[in-house]
Amino acid sequence: MKSSYNSHIKRIVLGLLIFAVVGFVAKMVLTPKSFGKYGPYRADAIDEEANQEIRHMTNASCLSCHPYEANIHLTGLHKTISCEFCHGPYADHVKAGKVYGKLPVKKKEEIKVLCLRCHNKAIQARPGEVIKTVIMPEHLEEQKVKVSHTCDQCHHVHAPLKYINRAKKIVGIKEKS
Amino acid sequence: MDALNFVFPNDLHVHWSMMIVLYPYLTGLVDGSFIVAALYYVFGVKSLKPISRFSLVFAFAFLSCAMFPLLMHLGRPERNHNMMITPSPTSAMSGAGFIFTVAIILIGLILLLVYRPTFVKLRLKSKGIMNILYRVLTMDSTNLSPESLELDRKIIKFLVAIGIPVATVLHGYVGFLFGGVKANPSWSTPLMPVIFLFSACVSGISALVLAYIVIKKLRNQPVDLGCVRTCINILAGFFILAFSFEMLEVFSHSYLRTWYHHAVEGLLNGPLFYSFWVWQVGICSVLPLLLLGWLCLFKMKASVFKFFAATVSIILLLQVLLMRWNVVIGGQLMSKSTRGYTQFHPEWFDKEGIITVIVLMSLPFIVLFMLSKIFPLWLEEEKASS
C-alpha cells in the first residue's frame, strides 16, 4: 500500500473510530433489556431474587411443631439462638407444610465442634460476660471428668445449665456472688 | 501476639488483604515509569533517552496486569480486562474503568508512534508472522520522511502531555478510594491521594533504575551513567516529597488530635510499631534519604555509584510496598470499637496468599519479556542489529 507522510495517523484514527463504534454497538446489543430501569443494575434481578425459594424461617416456625423442644429451649440460656444455626435450614426439613427430609443430628465429636464454634476461648472477639468461652480439654480437666467427654454429656444443648443447676440444687451448692 | 482488647467479631478478619496491597503497588509502578517517559518526551530531559522507550514498555506491561489483584480478590481474575470495557460514572469504584481505558489506549498509541521507525526497519527484515505483526503495528505505512517523523514527534508530545494528568489521576484515584473511606480514621484524609501519588513516582523510578542496571549488568552492556544520575536526582526529589507528606500526615493527625486519634496513635505505636516506625520510616526512609543525599551531592567512582543507586532503588521499592502494607492492612487492624486491634497472618496457600502474590508479581515481568520480543527495549540493540 502506498502511504503518505500522515497515512498511519489517519489509519490509527480510523481504527479508534471503528473500535468505538463496534464497542458502542456491542454495548447496545449485550446490555440486558431491563438494565438501567431503576438505576445502574438489571431491574429483572429484583423479581428473580424475590422469587427465590425461601430457605430459612424463624424459631417460631420450628417450635410450632416441636412443643417439647420449645419448652426447654425457651427457658434456657440458648433461647435467643436460632434453631437453624445448629440444625440446618428449614427448607431441607419442611416443604409446602409437609415433612420433606430429616435434618442431620450432630453426635459425639461433631457436638464438640459445633459448641466450640461459639464457645472457644481462641475467639477473642467475644467478651466473657456475653458468652462463656472455654479451652478444651482444660475445661474437662477442671471439671474432673474424662477428657473424652462430649459437651452434651453435662450440658443440655437447648438449655446449657439445665442439668447443672438441677445438680447444684440437689447437692446444695450455692453460687458465689 | 493475639487480638488486643475489644474487637468486634466482624472486624477480627482482615478482608482487604495482600491483593489490595498489590493493586496500588502495581499501578504506582505504572505511574512512576510514565513520569520518566513524560520527562523525556514532554519536558525534554535529554539524559533520560536510554530508558525513555523502556519506561513506556514497562508502564504498558504493568498496566496490563494492574487489575489482576483486584479481580483476584473478588474471586474472578479472568475478568481482569472487563474493568476497562465496563466503566460506569455512577460508581466511585467502576469510575476507574474510564481512567484505566484511557490510560492503556494512550500508552498503546504512544508506543506505536515511538516505535514506528524501528518497526518499519524490522518489518523490512522480518518474515512470516512477525512481518504481518509489524505491518499491523506500523499501520502498513513505511513512510519515514522527515515530515512524517516530525508529525509523529508532535503527536507523541501531545499524547504524553495528556498522559501526565491521566497517570496522575490513575494513581491519585487509588489514594482517593482509601481517603474516601470515612469509617476508617487512618485512611480518611484528603492527603491520601497526594501520598499515594508521590510514593507511586518513587516506586516507578526506583523500579526503572533497578531494572536498567540489572538488565545491563546481566547482558554485560555498559550502563549510561548520566541517565542513572538524572534518575537518582529525580528520585531524590520525589522521595523527599513522598516522605515529607507521609510524615506530615502522621504529625497533622497527632497535632490536631482529630476524631478517634487515640485509635490511630495506638495502632502506629502498637501493632504497626515495627512495620511502620522501624521498617518504613527508619530503615527504608531515613537510610535511603541519607544515601540519596550522598549520591546526589558527592562525587564518587562510577561502580560505587551504580552499586548504591541499585541498593537505594531496592530499599525504596521495599519502602513503598511497606507503605501500601501499613496503609491497607494496617488500617484494617483497628476495630470499629476503637478499643481493640486485630492481627493479620499472611498465608502461603491462600487464594490471596503469598504464593498468589509471587505469581501475580511475576506476571508483568512475563508480559514485559514477551513485549521485549516485539519492542526492542534498548536503542543500542537496534543500532547493533541494523
pLDDT surpasses 90 at B262:
no
pLDDT tier, B337 (very low <50, low <70, confident <90, very high otherwise): confident
Backbone angles phi, psi at A95, to 5 degrees: -135, 130
State the nearest Cα–Cα gap between A162 and chain B, in angstroms: 28
* Count of structural domains within chain A: 3
Rounded distance between C-alpha atoms, residue A133 and residue A131, angstroms:
6
- For A53-62, letters b (16+ CB in 10 Å) and e give eeeebebeeb
Contact A115, A151 (CB under 8 A): yes
Q: What is the pLDDT of residues B71-97, one digit of tens each?
A: 999 988 888 888 887 788 878 888 888
Q: Which residues of B touch A5 (CB under 8 A)?
A: 143, 145, 147-148, 151
Tell whether the torsion through CA atoms of B91, B94, B98 and B100 is positive or negative: positive
Whether B141 and A8 lie within 8 Å, measured CB to CB:
yes
Strands B340-341 and B4-5: antiparallel
Q: What is the SS3 assignment for B340?
A: strand
**Which of A5, A39, A126 lies nearest to residue B145, judging by beta carbons?**
A5
Q: Is residue A2 part of a domain?
A: no
Backbone angles phi, psi at A99, to 5 degrees: -65, 130
**Residue type, position B167, single letter:** A
Q: Searching chain A, which residue's CA lies closest to the CA of residue B86? A: A27
Q: What is the pLDDT of residues B214-245, one digit of tens each?
A: 999 998 999 999 999 999 999 999 999 999 99
Mutate which: B123, B141, B333, vs A, most A CBs within 10 A: B141
Q: Are residues A152 and A114 in the same domain?
A: yes
Rounded distance between C-alpha atoms, residue B174 and residue B79, angstroms:
19
Q: Which residues of A touch B155 (CB under 8 A)?
A: 9
The predicted pLDDT at position A73 comes to: 94
The predicted pLDDT at position A130 comes to: 79
Helix, strand, coil % in chain B, rounded to nearest 5: 75, 0, 25
**Which of A1, A12, A126 lies nearest to residue B9, judging by beta carbons?**
A126
Instruction: Report CA dihedral (B17, B20, B25, B26) to the nearest 10 degrees.
Output: 130
Q: What is the pLDDT of residues B56-71, one digit of tens each?
A: 999 999 999 998 999 9
The predicted pLDDT at position B232 comes to: 96
Considering all CA atoms of chain B, what is the largest pairwise distance in Å, rounded to the nearest integer? 73
pLDDT tier, B18 (very low <50, low <70, confident <90, very high otherwise): very high
Contact B200, B27 (CB under 8 A): yes
- Number of CB pairs, chain A paired with chain B, less than 8 A apart: 53
State the nearest Cα–Cα gap between A18 and chain B, in angstroms: 14
- Mean pLDDT is lowest, of B7-21, B214-228, B371-385, for B371-385
pLDDT by residue, tens only, chain A of 177 residues: 678 898 999 999 999 999 999 989 998 999 899 998 998 789 999 999 999 988 999 999 999 999 999 999 999 999 999 999 999 999 999 988 888 888 888 888 899 999 988 898 877 666 677 788 898 889 999 989 999 999 999 999 999 999 888 988 898 877 654
Other CB atoms within 10 Å distance of the CB of residue B33: 31
Domain parsing of chain B, residue ranges: 4-385
Q: Are residues A46 and A60 in the same domain?
A: no
Whether B139 and A125 lie within 8 Å, measured CB to CB:
no
**CA-based nearest residue to B38, from B119, B116, B112, B106:** B106
Q: What is the SS3 assignment for B334?
A: strand
The predicted pLDDT at position B164 comes to: 93
Q: Are residues A115 and A80 in the same domain?
A: no
**Which of B2, B88, B141 lies nearest to residue A3, judging by beta carbons?**
B141
Q: Searching chain B, which residue's CA lies closest to the CA of residue A14? A: B139
Q: Are residues A168 and A119 in the same domain?
A: yes
Whether A7 and B139 lie within 8 Å, measured CB to CB:
yes
Whether A3 and B142 lie within 8 Å, measured CB to CB:
yes
The predicted pLDDT at position B82 comes to: 81
Q: Is the ipTM of this complex over 0.85?
A: no
Read off the C-alpha cell for B173: 484515584
Q: Are residues A32 and A76 in the same domain?
A: no
Contact B62, B29 (CB under 8 A): yes
Single pTM value for the model: 0.81
Q: Find where cell 471503528 sits.
A: A18
Residues of chain B with a CB closer than 8 angstroms to some CB in chain A: 2-3, 6-9, 11-12, 85, 88, 90-91, 105, 109, 112, 116, 138-143, 145, 147-148, 151, 155
Q: Are residues A114 and A145 in the same domain?
A: yes
Q: Are residues A121 and A100 in the same domain?
A: no
Tell me, what CATH number does A94's domain have? 1.10.287
Whether B90 and A40 lie within 8 Å, measured CB to CB:
yes
Rounded distance between C-alpha atoms, residue A60 and residue A52, angstroms:
22
Q: Is residue A148 part of a domain?
A: yes
**Which of A12, A124, A127 lies nearest to residue B139, judging by beta carbons?**
A12
Q: Find where cell 496468599 sits.
A: B353
Rounded distance between C-alpha atoms, residue B155 and residue B178, angstroms:
35
CATH topology of domain B4-385: Formate dehydrogenase/DMSO reductase fold (1.20.1630)
Residue % of chain B over a pLDDT of 70:
97
Rounded distance between C-alpha atoms, residue B319 and residue B32, angstroms:
15
Q: Which residues of A touch B151 (CB under 8 A)?
A: 5-6, 9
Contact A85, A65 (CB under 8 A): no
**CA-based nearest residue to B55, from B174, B173, B211:** B211
Contacting residues for B291 by C-beta, under 8 A, at least 6 apart: B308, B311, B312, B315
The predicted pLDDT at position B1 comes to: 43
Q: Is residue A1 part of a domain?
A: no
pLDDT surpasses 80 at B3:
no
Q: What is the pLDDT of residues B174-193, one digit of tens each?
A: 899 899 888 888 888 888 99
The predicted pLDDT at position B104 comes to: 92
Contact A91, A54 (CB under 8 A): yes
Q: Are residues A121 and A93 in the same domain?
A: no
- Mean pLDDT is lowest, of A27-36, A100-109, B161-170, B197-206, for A100-109
Beta-bridge partner residues of A94: A99
Q: Is residue A58 part of a domain?
A: yes
Q: What is the pLDDT of residues B268-303, one digit of tens each?
A: 998 999 999 999 999 999 999 999 999 999 999 999
Give the domain range for residue A85: 54-105
